Amino acid sequence: SNFESQRARKETRYQQLLADISAAGWTAQLFTVEVGCRGLYHHTLPHLFNFFDIPRHRKKKALNEVAVIALRCSYTIWLSRDNRIWSSNYELVKRPEGSAD
């Protein structure tokens, strides 16, 4: 899958850094996170939340928010496909007024 190829690419990219950290006497763990433009996420994202013992209800909420943010950003980019200048005023992830938290 595309998620798997991106995960493998990232792991390869950071192998030397992990080796350098280990050689310096530190311990490091690499977590890759992949989220697609349609709001789908790879299993590595829930695994990251599990590593940090994020409670199930918060993990579910965070995964939903990540999906919505990815969708909103992708949609904004698509809507702006004909614009030659990107405005920093585009509100990609602002919650609608009165949204429940």
- The DSSP secondary structure of the chain, one letter per residue, reads -HHHHHHHHHHHHHHHHHHHHHHTT---------B-TTS-B-THHHHHHHHTT--HHHHHHHHHHHHHHHHHHHHHHHHTTT-SS--TT--SSPPPTT---
Predicted local confidence at residue 101, as pLDDT: 47
Mean pLDDT, residues 13-35 taken together: 94
Q: pTM for the full model? A: 0.68
Of 9-23, 32-46, 70-84, the least confident: 70-84
Flag whether pLDDT at 93 surpasses 60: no
